Amino acid sequence: MGPYSPAFRHLFSRLGWEVVVPDRPTQDTLSLGFKNAPEFFCVPFKITLGTYIEALEQGAEVLVTTGGVGPCRAGHYAQVQADILRRKGYAFDLVVLEPIARDPLGLLRNVRRLNRNRASIPRIVRLVRQVLKKIAAIDQFGAELRRLRPRELRRGSAEAAYDGAIKTLDAAETLEDIEAARRRGLEAFQAVARDPERPVLRIGLVGEIYVVLEPASNLDIEKMLGEMGAEVQPSITLSGWTAENVVTEVGNRAKEAAGPYLGAAIGGHGQESVGNAVLFAKRGFDGLVQLAPFTCIPEIVARGILPAVSRDLDLPVLSFFLDEQTGEAGVRTRCEAFVDMLWQRRRGKEGVA
């Protein structure tokens, strides 16, 4: 999902596996998922199903995925997808990694199953630390990219620095190597020519985790808005999600902030979408974009509540419900109109004609 392949390739290759990393999902990937999935399943289900088919066609024998947290049907996607794939004649093993707080013994059994090299426990702990450090570095590079994109003097230079930083990080072996790659990556961003005085909009991004983090599913909306002069900040990163859900499943600031509007979890990231809208408004963001898979009930509920947040906290909101019919031209047109409206509001507040 998203840019995190280097971290997971590092883990599984050192556990003794030849890792098949599918290319970034394309329209062909989505078509494979669309062709083989039940009609009303959401776009993350269809993209990941298409990705599994591409990986199996490349020779993958084991599929490793994660389970779900909370009352969302995504928690059962792996089993449904496995059934579809086996009916099509593919032979493979499926490993579903659940959060340790949810099923500690199951997680340990799966780790043992994936430990092909029979690495010692201290070795596995070191590997996990390396993976978490790579994920944190990837998220740090992403934040720099989103900050620089609307300010760069030469279009594409921040993207080039990001690609170079990810490539260097991918080659890092030890914790020391990873830290050195992180520092070199940040130095590359420092070298990008930018206009620090250029006015930019600040737009928050909320929604279901897959469509927020996977550019192929949201038509690269971060890049699209960045090139329109907006610094985009997603409410979810993999390192942030891991810290809040994988080990402890504790509450977070977004859930607390959602309280006046939505006081209970409704599955998926619906409550967090509402809460993060409140937090973005209180931080003075110019606008908010909500991303959701078509038919996603938690985000439909959040969509019904966000107008109240927008009215109470003066935060314009633009919602997208994404499926295989969503086209780039339509998304771009709506984003352009949204950005124009935000600039007019900004100038109005500043008293500029």
pTM of the model: 0.89
CA distance 267 to 289: 20
Give CB contacts under 8 A, 24+ apart, made by 58-64.
58/20, 58/22, 59/20, 60/20, 60/92, 61/91, 61/92, 61/93, 62/17, 62/92, 62/93, 62/94, 62/95, 62/114, 63/92, 63/93, 63/94, 63/95, 64/12, 64/95, 64/97, 64/114
Q: Show pLDDT as tens, one digit a residue, over the chain (353 residues).
A: 678 888 999 999 999 999 998 888 888 998 899 999 988 888 899 999 999 999 999 999 999 988 766 666 777 888 899 999 999 999 999 998 877 777 778 888 888 899 998 999 899 999 999 999 999 999 999 999 999 999 999 999 999 999 999 999 999 999 999 999 999 999 999 999 999 999 999 999 999 989 999 998 999 999 999 999 999 999 988 888 777 766 555 557 898 999 999 988 888 889 999 999 999 999 999 999 999 998 889 999 999 999 999 999 999 999 999 988 889 999 999 999 999 999 999 999 887 65
- Answer for the pair 144, 186: CB distance below 8 angstroms, yes or no: yes
- Answer for the pair 45, 211: CB distance below 8 angstroms, yes or no: no
- Answer for the pair 131, 139: CB distance below 8 angstroms, yes or no: no
